[in-house]
Structures are given as structure tokens and as C-alpha cells.
Amino acid sequence: MSDVGSISNIDDNSGEHPRSGAGSTSGPGAGLATGLRCVHCDAVSPLKDGIYVCPSCGGNHSVEYDLDAIRRAWDRAVLDGNDDRTIWRYAPLLPVTGRLEGPPVGWTPLVPAPALARTLGIRELFFKDDGRNPSASFKDRASSIALQRARETGHELVTGASTGNAASATAVLAAAVGLRTRIFVPRTAPRAKIAQLLTFGAEVLAVDGTYDQAFDLCIEASRRYGWYNRNTGFNPYTREGKKTVSFEICEQRHWIVPDLVVVPVGDGNIISGVWKGFREFERLGFIDRCPRLLAAQADESAAIVRAARGDGIIRPVSGDTVADSISVSLPRDGEAAVQAIRESGGFGITVPDDAILAAIGEVARGAGIFGEPAASAAWAGLREAVRQGLVDPAWSVVVLITGNGLKDVASAMKAVSEPRIISPDASALDALFGA
């Protein structure tokens, strides 16, 4: 049995110049990935630099692996013996040859929340606190893989459009390895996210428009100038980073698969990644079943939940919500997200903004975790699902907290009252607390 380090060297392109693999099926730096399969028309393309979406139909791609080769050299015992507590412990299932150095990403805590489980009347509840990643969001998982792909295909400049977190993740991790970043964000993005971008040296283009407009402008820029594009969904490798959260949940639960995983959904790339992760572990025989997925969206930003409940077709919505990270008019990974919800036997829930804001404090006080509005939407979605009788009380549930509350303090303040002002003298204390 080989260890994780040696299996990632099975790649027959390792050691070559990054660009010299062009023309092979798997392409440069692909590890044990074998190709890109279109989620819409099933066509297969090579993992080559410059191929993002399906050349035949424009659908998003899903990375495929040589699972037989992986199965021969990797199992639960190998993982158990690996003391690398980062996403790179899953190297055999990542589409790169090397790993990104820099601050450690992944292996975030799975926090038990028995008090909130009792409140909801469910058997078991955990929060996966991904706000503990280096840039304080789940997006570090995706940016790690996209940046490493950029490096292994010879790029020095990475661009991306983002509601904020994907961009911050890209800027933070790129800074650590000396890659340049040119980022498009809506100019309304929370200040903390823009501060992160600027502090970590990104060149920031604040688009006077929506996230959807920033996204299209960014793709146009990378087409014109050849910049490596990290846009969510469009870049097939972001999902590969995101799926690592499912691997971690399996390991952290000692291979007991939860019954339900609750995911806050905007573009739908996290939820499609979560599903891909569980499915890959199931196909490798590491787990014997997959969880249902609950997609939580804001009422006015619910294109994916509507499609999953209806005919499966994604139609644009206003995208209007206080939860900036899930404020999306036309989701960029909607088709794969709907597939994930349906294949898992899961469902979608929408929640109003006031429930999202209230959820921030509920998770904070109930579990000791400060989530940003989008992250808290997952908890609000679970509460609503329980209210509607969609959650079996016997279930074990994991809620993804995808971003830290300090990312968007202004929204958190909307759900609490301002502190009392007090003069700095004892008589003021007596006025308030004295007998």
C-alpha cells in the first residue's frame, strides 16, 4: 500500500515543464484526474490550460478520476495514518500534481451543538466551522486548487469575480506564493472583504454593478488577455477544492455519514462540490451511503431551489438579499447544484432576510460560532425545514458555516441593539446597577 505522497506522484507528467503535457489526455499537473465531463451534454474534454466550460455546449465541467488506480493505492487505513491536517491529505482526488504552500487550508472543526439540537428536537447537530480557514471562509478550499492549477499551467496572474469571499481567498493564498491577482467585485461588497483584498495585494476592480455583471466582465477580461480565470463554476477546479469538506466530515465523524448536510447556496458550486465529495468516497468504498443535501437560499435569491422544486431549469431572479455571498441572480453552477439536490434525495428551503439576520445570533449564542449572513442562512434553512416537518428527529445533521461573521459586521449589527453608553465614573455604574 503506498502512502498519499507517493500516489500523487503516479502522474506521468510529474517533473515535466507545466506546459509540456498539452496534448495528453489528462493534461499537465492533473494528478490522477483523467478528464473533464460536461454536466450538461456528457462530452469529455482534456484537462488542458484554457479549457473551462464545455466547448460543445457551454455547460460546466466535472473533473473525473481514475478511481480504480486510486482504489488500488488508497484506503481508509492510509488516510487514518496520514497526519497532514489540510485539504492536501486528499491529494489522490485532487487535479494537481503539487500542493500550494502557504497558510493551511481545511480540516476545520466539526463543532457539536447539543443545545441547538435539543431546541430543534433532532438527535444530533454539528456545525462545520469553515470560517476558521485562513481568509475566514470556505472559499479557501476552492482557491487553493484553482491557484495550484494556475501555477502548474504556467500562469502568474489570476483573475476572478466574486461576491467577496472567493476573491479574498484568492488574494490571501496567492500572496503566500507570489501570484498576482486582479479581482472584480461588486462595489457594494462588504468593506471587510475589500479590505482583505487590498491588504493582501490584489488589484481590485470595484464593478459598478451586480455580482453577475462583475462575473461576465471578468470572463471577458480573461478571454481578451489570457489571464487565468478562477470564477466559480466556470472554472471546473473550484468544485474539486470544495468537495474536500465532505471528505473531512466523513473522517471527523469516524466514517459515520450524517443523514443531512445543510448548505447555504448562491451559485451552487459549494453544494455540487459537497455532493461530489460524498459520491467519490462512496464510489471508492470509503462510505456506504451518502447524506441528503438541504440547499438553503434567501427568498429573493432562490433560483436553484425553485429549479429543483420545478422543472430543473435555472431562471434568473432578482438576487436581492442581505446575505451578500448568496446574492446571485443567475447561478453559475445551477445545473450541477440541482443534480446534487435531486440525486441526494434532498430538498431546498428558502428563508427571508429577517430570519437570516436572526440566525446569526442564534448560532453565535447556541454554538459559539460567529457566521456571516450567508453562512447563517444555512441554520435559518434548517430551522424552517424542521418547522415544515421535513427533518426526521432521528437524523444526524451537519450545517456548513461557510464564512466568519467578522466579514460583514454591518449586517450583524442589524440584528442586535447598540451598546449602552456610560460615563467613565462610578456614579454612572450606581445609576444603572446600584441598589
Binding site for ligand PLP (CB under 6 A): 137, 139, 163, 165-166, 232, 264-270, 325-326, 372, 374-375, 402-403
Question: Is the CB of 92 or the CB of 266 nearer to ligand PLP?
Answer: 266
Residue 324 Cβ, how far from ligand PLP at the closest point, in Å?
A: 8
Residue 317 Cβ, how far from ligand PLP at the closest point, in Å?
A: 14
Question: Is the CB of 57 or the CB of 413 nearer to Zn ion?
Answer: 57
Instruction: Report what 57 binds from Zn ion, ligand PLP, none; CB cut-off 5-8 Å by kind.
Output: Zn ion
Instruction: Report what 385 binds from Zn ion, ligand PLP, none; CB cut-off 5-8 Å by kind.
Output: none
DSSP state at residue 24: B
Residue 45 Cβ, how far from Zn ion at the closest point, in Å?
A: 9
Nearest CA among 228, 390, 221 for reference residue 309: 390
Instruction: Report what 148 binds from Zn ion, ligand PLP, none; CB cut-off 5-8 Å by kind.
Output: none
The C-alpha angle 187, 302, 223, rounded to 5 degrees, equals 50
Instruction: Report what 258 binds from Zn ion, ligand PLP, none; CB cut-off 5-8 Å by kind.
Output: none
CB 150 within 8 A of CB 144: no
By beta carbon distance, the residue nearest ligand PLP is 403
Question: Is the CB of 184 or the CB of 286 nearer to ligand PLP?
Answer: 184
Instruction: Report what 41 binds from Zn ion, ligand PLP, none; CB cut-off 5-8 Å by kind.
Output: Zn ion
Residue 74 Cβ, how far from ligand PLP at the closest point, in Å?
A: 27
Residue 58 Cβ, how far from Zn ion at the closest point, in Å?
A: 7
Nearest CA among 187, 266, 207, 277 for reference residue 232: 266
Question: Is the CB of 36 or the CB of 173 nearer to Zn ion?
Answer: 36
What residues line the site for Zn ion (CB under 5 A)? 38, 40-41, 43, 54, 56-57, 59
CB 270 within 8 A of CB 264: yes
Instruction: Report what 265 binds from Zn ion, ligand PLP, none; CB cut-off 5-8 Å by kind.
Output: ligand PLP
Helix axes 165-177, 139-152, angle to 10 degrees: 50
Instruction: Report what 40 binds from Zn ion, ligand PLP, none; CB cut-off 5-8 Å by kind.
Output: Zn ion
CA dist 184 and 206 (Å) reads: 6
Residue 139 Cβ, how far from ligand PLP at the closest point, in Å?
A: 6
Question: Is the CB of 40 or the CB of 76 nearer to Zn ion?
Answer: 40
Q: Are strands 110-112 and 61-65 parallel, antiparallel or unpaired?
A: unpaired
Instruction: Report what 79 binds from ligand PLP, Zn ion, none; CB cut-off 5-8 Å by kind.
Output: none
Residues 6 or more apart from 30 whose CB is under 8 A from it?
A: 11, 13, 21, 47, 95, 96, 97
Tell me the three cell numbers of residue 163: 461576491
Question: Is the CB of 27 or the CB of 405 nearer to ligand PLP?
Answer: 405
Question: Is the CB of 13 or the CB of 329 nearer to ligand PLP?
Answer: 329
CA dist 130 and 294 (Å) reads: 18
Question: Is the CB of 21 or the CB of 106 nearer to ligand PLP?
Answer: 106
Q: Measured in Å, how far apart are the chain's first and last C-alpha atoms? A: 73
The C-alpha angle 219, 402, 103, rounded to 5 degrees, equals 80
Helix axes 165-177, 191-199, angle to 10 degrees: 10
Question: Is the CB of 165 or the CB of 222 nearer to ligand PLP?
Answer: 165
Residue 17 Cβ, how far from ligand PLP at the closest point, in Å?
A: 33
Residue 27 Cβ, how far from Zn ion at the closest point, in Å?
A: 18
Backbone angles phi, psi at 332, to 5 degrees: -90, -5
Nearest CA among 407, 399, 412 for reference residue 270: 399
Instruction: Report what 269 binds from ligand PLP, Zn ion, none; CB cut-off 5-8 Å by kind.
Output: ligand PLP
For residue 184, the cross-strand partners are 161, 205
DSSP state at residue 301: G
Residue 268 Cβ, how far from ligand PLP at the closest point, in Å?
A: 5
Residue 39 Cβ, how far from Zn ion at the closest point, in Å?
A: 8
CB 374 within 8 A of CB 321: no
Instruction: Report what 295 binds from ligand PLP, Zn ion, none; CB cut-off 5-8 Å by kind.
Output: none
Question: Is the CB of 284 or the CB of 303 nearer to ligand PLP?
Answer: 303
**What's the order of all strands across the beta sheet hosting 347-351?**
110-112, 124-129, 396-401, 260-264, 292-298, 347-351
